[in-house]
Amino acid sequence: MSPVALKAALAGVLALVLGVAGGVWKVQGWRYGQKLAEQSAAYQADLTTISNAASDQVRTDQAKRLALEQRLAASDQTHQEVLTNAQKDQARLRDRLATSDLRLSVLLAEDSASGCDVPKATGAGGVDHATVRARLDPAHAQRIIAITDTGDRGLIALQACQAYVKALAQ
């Protein structure tokens, strides 16, 4: 073979190799593009799944918060009614004490030296046979009622706080 024919054959082989390489390169480009499209679609599907899960979680949390707010509102209303009723009862008791319709009394210590459980003087309206009572001055009775009113309010507030904490813990 002559050098010119050899050069022409080599040029033909080189052109064929370059043509095949170019074709392979193009096919690889298509495959790579297809893989990128598949990965992009999978990524988009994953994002959609995550987004849906996040929105479901937000809706669930909002529903829980709304339910908690409703329970707390009902609890607050119940405790407000209890407080109002206690205040009305205390006001009625103070009114009855002020009008002398009701008198508070306290038990007195008995005389243990005599050893007798029978009172020295019987009362017309009492059924306590073994106790001696002293009636309180109305002003002192009013102070005692005011103290118990404050204590009742404190207990009602404590119960409301405990119910609030229990509702939050659920």
13-64 residue pLDDT tens: 888 888 888 888 888 888 888 888 999 999 999 999 999 999 999 999 999 9
Residue 153 phi, psi (nearest 5)? -60, -40
What is the rounded CA–CA span in Å between residue 25 and residue 30?
9
Residue 132 has pLDDT above 80, yes or no: no
pLDDT interval class at 120 (50, 70, 90):
low
The beta-carbon contacts of 117-126 under 8 Å, at least 24 apart in sequence, are none
Looking at per-residue pLDDT, the higher value among 101 and 161 belongs to 161
Give the gyration radius of the chain's Cα atoms. 47
- Percent of the chain past pLDDT 90, that is, above it, reads 19
User: pTM for the full model?
Assistant: 0.51
Q: Where are the domains of the chain?
A: 7-110+131-169
Q: What is the model's pLDDT at position 90?
A: 84
